[in-house]
Amino acid sequence: MRREVQYLLEITWLSPVASPWSSPCILVPKPDGTSRSALTFEKSMRLRCQTPIPYREWRIASITLVPLSLSLKLDLLKGY
């Protein structure tokens, strides 16, 4: 997993973050013995339940995000 993360950092698909909303990546064993990566959202779900975003702040954030465009990178070989 470290090699894969290092590779994704090198090609700039990943970047380090220090956000309370970040979710850790774990390896889950498959029935055939191989592993797959998965995200756990337990920590962010606890934050979400404790600190709801007020409507006023969400409205301001959504107004500022409207002019931005989003892009998505897909790696069909690895399924990201």
The rounded distance, in Å, linking the Cα atoms of 21 and 48 is: 9
Contacts of 43 (CB under 8 A, 6+ apart): 20, 23, 24
Average pLDDT, the chain: 72
Q: Residue 53: helix, strand or coil by DSSP? A: coil
> Do 56 and 42 touch, CB atoms closer than 8 A?
no
Q: Which helix (H) or strand (E) holds 4?
A: helix 2-10
What is the band of 74 on the pLDDT scale with cuts at 50, 70, 90? Answer: low
pLDDT reported for residue 6: 86
The pTM assigned to this predicted structure is 0.40
Domains in the chain: boundaries: 19-65
pLDDT tens profile 20-49:
777 888 888 999 988 888 888 887 777 665
Which residue has better confidence, 1 or 26? 26
pLDDT reported for residue 40: 84
Which residue has better confidence, 26 or 76? 26
